[in-house]
Amino acid sequence: MIFNHIHQMRNQMSQRPFFNSILAVLILFLTYTNGQSQSKVFMAGASISNITPPLGEPVVGNWNSPPATYIHDQINVRSIALNDGNTTLIFSIIDNVSINREVLDAAKAIIHNKTRIPYANLMLASTHTHSSISAGKTGSQRRGWQYGEPLDEYQRFVAKRVADGVLVAIENLEPAKIGWGGVDVPDHVFNRRWLMKEPVMSPLGIMDKAKMNPGNLNPNLDKPAGPIDPEVSFLALESVDGRPIALLGNYSLHYVGGVPKGHVSADYFAIFGDRMQELLGADRQEPAFVGIMSNGTSGDINNLNFGKPRENHEPYEKMKIVANDVADKVYKTYQNVKFQDWVQLGAAASELTLDVRRASPEVLKNMELVMERPMDDKPLFHPLEKNYANRIMQLETQWPDQIDIVMQTFKIGDLGIAAIPFEVFAEIGLEIKEKSPFDDTFTIELANGAYGYLPSPEQHEVGGYETWLSTNRVELNASRKIIAELMELFSNLD
C-alpha cells in the first residue's frame, strides 16, 4: 500500500523536481531497508537520455572513420528500472558501436553512489550502431588497452548521461505489470560467414576456410558457416491501468546500416522503439513510453543474404523495413502476453579471468614481412594486412596477458537474461538458451564492456574475419568458459 500512496503523491506533486528526487531516494530506502515488511508491489520506470555527439568527431564502425557532418536522428540511452519490493534491476541500452568497461564502470559508480543499488544489478550495454562516434576513444587508441586511464571528454559525457538516465528511470518508478514473450522473425537475419569451396587468404598470411561477407552469388560459396537465431524476445511493462511504460526487445542482428557518409544515426534499433510507441498508442505520454531494442548474439549475423542477388535500397530504407516488420510482429505477439502484477527479481554477477591471445611465430613473421614493405607496394597477403600488422603489434605490446570481464545474469520471474561483453556468435546464444534453467532466456551482448568478437572453438578452426587475431583478442576456449560461468550464475538465481 505504501508504494501506491507514494505514486499518488507523485502525481499530485509532479511539477516539483526537488520532491521527485526525495521520492526516488525514499523508494530505494524502503526497498533496501524494509522491503520484507511491505506488501508485494511490482514497480517499473523508464527514461530516455540524449548522448548525441558533436559534429566533426569521427564516425566509427567501418574501415574508415569520416567526420560526423549530419545528425539524422538523435543518439540516446534508453533505461528501465524494475523493483519487486526487495530488489531493483537496471537495464540501460546505449546507442554506440561499443563502449569500454571503464566508461560503464564510471556510470555504475555514479548510480551506485546515489542509490546504493548493487553493481551486480546494473546492466549497461551498447546497441552496436555503426553510425555514431565511439565511446571507446578513436584512432589507434580505440583498440588499445585503456583500463585505468583517464576518460576523454565524450566518454565522461556518456558516463554521466547514462547515470542521469538511470536516475530518471528510478524517479519514474510506479506500480506496474510485467510480461514477456517471443516471436521468430527469420526474414532479416543471415549468417554472414560462409564456408568456401576453396580456402581464401587472410591478412595474417593464414588460409581460411570461412569468409565474412563473401559477396552475393560468389561461385566459391559453399554454405553458411553457422546458424542464425531468429527469435525476437521482448519484455513489456505497463502501468496498473494498462498504460504502456516500456518495451525491451532483443534480436540477434548486428545492425542494418545503409547510412550516407558522415551521418550520425542510431540505426534500426531506434526505429524499432519509435514504431512500438506508435503501435501501442503511447505517443506524448507523461512519463514518455520508452521502446528499446538490445542486441542479441549477432557477432556472425547481418541483414545480407549472400545466397541471392544483391538488393539495392535508398539510404535508411532497409533499416525502416527491418525495424517496422520486427515491431509489427512483436506487437501481434504482445496482444497475447499474460501480464503479471508481481514477479521476483534477482541478479548474479562475477568476474571471469580470460587469457589474451598472442600471435604465433608464423603470424609474427608474416606481420614483420608486411611492415617491411613500402606502403604503396602490392599487398603480400591481403589488402588489410598493414591494418592487422599494426593491430597485432598493439595487442602484443599494450594488452596484459589476462583480462577480467564482467559476467551477469538476471532473473525476472521465469525469464532469464544473460549479459556478455563481446560480439557473440549466434550458436553461443542458442547454446545458452538450451542450457539455461529458465523457461525463457535471451542474451544481451556488448554488455559491461567490449572486448571484440567471441567465436566458438569450432569457428576458430575455420577462420575468417571474426577469428583474426586482434579482431578476436581472447583465448580460443573463451566461449566454453563463459557459458559455464553463466550457467553457474543462473543456478544461483533459482
Quote the number of domains for the chain. Answer: 1
Q: What's the pLDDT band for 149 if we cut at 50, 70, 90?
A: confident
- Whether residue 193 is contained in a domain is answered as no
Residue 472 lies in a domain: no
Q: Is the model's pLDDT at 125 over the cut of 90?
A: yes
* Residue 247: domain span: 40-186+227-345+420-426
Confidence of residue 375 (pLDDT cuts 50, 70, 90): confident
Which of 4-8, 181-185, 213-217, 302-306 bottoms out in mean pLDDT, i.e. has the lowest? Answer: 4-8
pLDDT at 225 exceeding the cut of 90: yes
Query: Per-residue pLDDT for 406 more than 80?
Result: yes
pLDDT at 483 over 80: yes
- 246-301 per-position pLDDT tens digit: 999 999 999 999 999 999 999 999 999 999 999 999 999 999 999 999 999 999 99
| pLDDT for the residue 464 | 98
| Residue 455: predicted pLDDT | 98
Task: Classify residue 209: in a domain, yes or no.
Answer: no
Mean pLDDT of the chain: 92
The proportion of the chain whose per-residue pLDDT surpasses 90, expressed as a percent, equals: 87
Q: Tens digit of pLDDT for each residue in 9-49?
A: 454 444 444 444 455 545 555 554 444 445 799 999 999 99
pLDDT value for 14: 45
Q: Is residue 434 domain-resident?
A: no
Predicted pLDDT at 425: 98
Q: Using one digit for the tens of pLDDT, what is the confidence trace for 64-97?
A: 889 999 999 999 999 999 999 999 999 999 999 9
| pLDDT for the residue 486 | 98
Residue 49: inside a domain: yes
Does residue 413 register a pLDDT over 80?
yes
Q: Is 259 among the domain residues?
A: yes
The pLDDT score that the predictor gives to residue 266 is 98
The verdict on residue 11 lying in a domain is no
135 pLDDT band, cuts 50/70/90, is confident
The reply to whether 465 falls in a domain is no
Residue 346 C-alpha cell reads as 534477482
Give the residue-averaged pLDDT of 207-232: 98
pLDDT digits (tens, 9 = 90+) for 423-475: 999 999 999 999 999 999 999 999 999 999 999 999 999 999 999 999 999 99
